[in-house]
């Protein structure tokens, strides 16, 4: 049975409320950290835990924290990124809706570690009903002395509030989030300066994902070393995976980072296999922006080893034959799904969400959308496939923020692994409107790159 | 709301209190950070963000009107044109698409006799397709006001259109939420 650190009490009746949460061991980490540890000791435990950012990039949290500038007399801020918008990802919403005090507890301990006295949770505007759940929980935390002045008599002050976005995927990028929190358009900033030096209101700022901050609670309670015992290699601890697509049991699962992808997809503990007895065609393991894997690279790596639900194993083979754990937005496709249509759909998403600052992204995403649309609707030409490849290459790495990369990678991976399906759309313009291509044939890896 | 602008724009005392609470979450002089929240409040109150509404918000926050316009036009949740009392926002992105979002959109279009982006003649419904709302495991889905309606079927769409037609609920603040939406 998998150990759960975040969702272990999620099904306890009334756990969203303060009293039940507290009775079940809630806010212990605040008592421990504020009364028995120094801020640096908390940072040290997080470093020892090996915790990596759960929003998608996987950057070591302890290291990110240690970069925070601490100039005398300048306030610092901790911002929680609850802008969850990566298609396929719905884990943070689940956590905040079901066990909101866990996030608040994590915010208190993390703010203490960073010396932040005013922290914010930035939540996507569509989650307004979750914002109200969080505001209720924050009010309870204030009423019970966990927030405000002189918490637990330790002299540590913290004000925490939650503030919404208004429908912009780009605000999940940390500098765009900061801009948005300042009441502006969500245009990412040029880095450096990094938020750790100049973030919110030009003050030193740390931005962490909801799940990352929640994970600080068990790390402080049980110690970083204990946390690091779970998982494999540099993939320590547990990860929330939100599973969707053509599976029997979609939902949010907390996994130890040591199980195989095969177990995750086929075991009844998790996804419960492909719906309607269909065959697996492809999988996007970490949110729409990570490379799609064809069926033969989902459960095994190119080297024939079992693929694991870890940062390293999902990335095994690089972009040629691997993908990324990303945000944990796990999307499964059965044999009836059309890869060209899916790629067009994702590209339309990125076109819609591009902030428009950088021309490669602003123009490139729209151009790719048009080309993919004509391929999908049987009006494509063979050279369109190479054109797409060319456009995505010119977006990747040429933009201020990673949205450009995020838009380029799904297109590149689709062409890399499913070129024959794209060609079929050109060669069979009528058939492609009537039926789906089915499974692609397995490729050897020397020829797998386009 | 069918008017093309708002002539009388002001918040009730209760809403002004709420606005001040939100402004109070930010340090002195950083009241502009309240803008996005205050625009949500204004939109819920006035139905959409006309120029007089945006100018009013600018005055409340002591910022220039242009600072409000550029934000209101950037974020997709804001309506700078009149919309129906109930916005049916159907997610169309990847996971919802493969679970039949396109059929749901078509079904609503046919049922209400409007296209994506249009409002019914009675001013009750606006249909809008939107990008991923974070409900991929409960697809297909739509959002109406603050409420998520998930695992949609045609029968479920019939039901909720019927319910909203009887009792149109706009983007009310504090609307009852959908706590049982996320099942796992």
Q: What is the pLDDT of residues B10-33, one digit of tens each?
A: 999 999 999 999 999 999 999 999
* Overall fold of domain B13-72: Arc Repressor Mutant, subunit A (1.10.10)
CA distance A53 to A59: 5
Q: What beta strand segments (E) does A148-233 contain? A: 148-151, 156-164, 205-209, 231-232
pLDDT at A2: 76
> Considering only CB atoms, which chain A residues are within 8 Å of B174?
132
For the domain A339-434, what is the CATH code?
1.20.1440.230
Q: Give the strand pairing for A156-164 and A148-151.
A: antiparallel
pLDDT over 60 at B174, yes or no: no
CA distance A77 to A92: 21
Q: What confidence tens digit (pLDDT) does each residue in A251-277 have?
A: 999 999 999 999 999 999 999 999 999
Q: A257: which 2 tokens?
A: 């980072």
A–B: how many Cβ contacts below 8 A?
A: 166
Q: A244: which 2 tokens?
A: 């969707």
CA distance A89 to B94: 11
Domain boundaries, chain A: 18-225, 239-334, 339-434
The Cα-based distances of A306 to A294, A301, A324, A444 in angstroms read 15, 6, 15, 17
- Is A125 close to B183, i.e. CB distance below 8 A? no
Q: B50: which 2 tokens?
A: 């006309």
H-helix or E-strand containing A351? helix A339-353
Residues B108-118 as b/e (b if ≥16 CB within 10 A, e otherwise) read beeebebeeeb
Place of tokens 């909203």: B164
CA distance A400 to chain B (A): 18
Residue pair A8/A260 in contact (Cβ under 8 Å)? The answer is: no
Mean pLDDT, rounded, of chain B: 90
Q: A229: which 2 tokens?
A: 């015992």
Taking only residues 380 to 419 of chain A, the set having a beta carbon closer than 8 angstroms to any beta carbon of chain B reads: none
**Class in CATH terms, B86-166:** alpha beta
3 state SS of B183: coil
Q: Is B25 on the interface with A (CB under 8 A)?
A: yes
Facing B94 at nearest CB: one of A87, A129, A169: A87
Q: Which CATH number fits domain A239-334: 3.90.1150.10, 1.10.1740.10, 3.40.309.10, 3.10.20.600?
A: 3.10.20.600
Domain boundaries, chain B: 13-72, 86-166
Q: Is A180 on the interface with B (CB under 8 A)?
A: yes
A446 — pLDDT class (breaks 50, 70, 90): low
Residue pair A80/A181 in contact (Cβ under 8 Å)? The answer is: no
Q: What confidence tens digit (pLDDT) does each residue in A185-244 have?
A: 999 999 999 999 999 999 999 999 999 999 999 999 999 999 999 999 999 999 999 999
CA distance B96 to B89: 13
Q: What beta strand segments (E) does B5-141 contain? A: 86-91, 125-130
Q: Which CATH number fits domain A18-225: 3.40.50.11540, 1.10.1040.10, 3.30.1240.10, 3.40.50.720?
A: 3.40.50.11540
Domains B13-72 and B86-166 share a fold: no
> Considering only CB atoms, which chain A residues are within 8 Å of B134?
84-85, 89-90, 92-93, 124, 126-127
CA distance A78 to A117: 8
């Amino acid at each position: 049975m998998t150990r759960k650190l975040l969702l272990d009490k999620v099904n306890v009746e009334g756990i969203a409320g303060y009293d039940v949460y507290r009775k079940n061991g809630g806010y212990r980490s605040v008592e421990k950290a504020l009364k028995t540890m120094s801020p640096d000791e908390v940072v040290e435990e997080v470093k020892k835990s090996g915790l990596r950012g759960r929003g998608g990039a996987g950057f070591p949290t302890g290291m990110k924290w240690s970069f925070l500038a601490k100039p005398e007399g300048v306030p610092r801020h901790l911002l929680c990124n609850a802008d969850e918008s990566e298609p396929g990802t719905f884990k943070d919403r689940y956590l905040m809706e079901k066990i909101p005090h866990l996030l608040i507890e994590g915010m208190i301990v993390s703010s203490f570690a960073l010396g932040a006295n005013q922290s914010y949770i930035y939540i996507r505007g569509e989650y307004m009903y979750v914002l109200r759940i969080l505001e209720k929980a924050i009010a309870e935390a204030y009423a019970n002395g966990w927030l405000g002045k002189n918490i637990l008599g330790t002299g540590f002050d913290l004000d925490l509030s939650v503030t919404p976005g208004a429908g912009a995927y780009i605000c999940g990028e940390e500098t765009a989030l900061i801009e948005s929190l300042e009441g502006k358009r969500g245009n990412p900033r040029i880095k450096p300066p990094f938020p750790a030096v100049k973030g919110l209101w030009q003050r030193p700022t740390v931005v962490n994902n909801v799940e990352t901050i929640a994970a600080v609670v068990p790390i402080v309670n049980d110690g970083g070393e204990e946390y690091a015992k779970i998982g494999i290699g540099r993939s320590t601890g547990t990860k929330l995976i939100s599973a969707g697509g053509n599976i029997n049991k979609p939902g949010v699962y907390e996994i130890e980072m040591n199980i195989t992808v095969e177990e995750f997809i086929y075991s009844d503990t998790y996804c419960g296999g492909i719906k309607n007895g269909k065959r697996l065609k492809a999988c996007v393991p970490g949110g729409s922006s990570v490379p799609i894997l064809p069926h033969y690279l989902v459960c095994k790596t190119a080297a024939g080893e079992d693929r694991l639900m870890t940062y390293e194993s999902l990335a095994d083979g690089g972009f040629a034959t691997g993908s990324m754990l990303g945000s944990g937005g796990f999307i499964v496709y059965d044999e009836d799904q059309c890869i060209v249509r899916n790629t067009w759909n994702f590209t339309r998403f990125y076109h819609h969400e591009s902030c428009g600052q950088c021309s490669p992204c602003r123009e490139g995403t729209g151009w790719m959308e048009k080309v993919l649309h004509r391929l999908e609707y049987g009006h494509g030409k063979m050279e369109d496939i190479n054109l797409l490849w060319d456009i995505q290459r010119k977006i990747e790495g040429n933009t201020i923020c990673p949205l450009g990369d995020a838009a380029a990678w799904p297109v590149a991976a689709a062409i890399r692994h499913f070129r024959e399906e794209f060609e079929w759309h050109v060669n069979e313009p009528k058939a492609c409107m009537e039926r789906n291509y089915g499974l692609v044939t397995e490729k050897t890896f020397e020829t797998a790159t386009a | 709301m069918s008017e093309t602008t708002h002539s009388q724009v002001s918040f009730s005392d209760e809403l002004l209190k709420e606005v001040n609470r939100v402004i109070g979450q930010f340090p002195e002089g950083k009241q502009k950070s309240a803008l996005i929240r205050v625009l949500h409040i204004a939109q819920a109150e006035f139905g959409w963000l006309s120029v007089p509404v945006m100018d009013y918000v600018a005055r409340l926050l002591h910022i220039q009107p242009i600072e409000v316009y550029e934000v209101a036009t950037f974020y997709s949740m804001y309506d700078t044109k009149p919309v129906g009392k109930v916005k049916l926002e159907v997610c169309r992105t990847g996971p919802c698409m493969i679970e039949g979002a396109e059929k749901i959109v078509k079904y609503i279009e046919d049922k209400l006799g409007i296209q994506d982006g249009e409002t019914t003649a009675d001013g009750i419904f606006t249909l809008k397709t939107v990008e991923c709302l974070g409900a991929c495991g409960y697809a297909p889905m739509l959002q109406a006001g603050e409420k998520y309606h998930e695992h949609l079927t045609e029968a479920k769409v019939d039901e909720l259109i019927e319910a909203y037609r009887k009792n149109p609920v706009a983007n009310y603040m504090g609307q009852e939420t959908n706590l049982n939406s996320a099942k796992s």
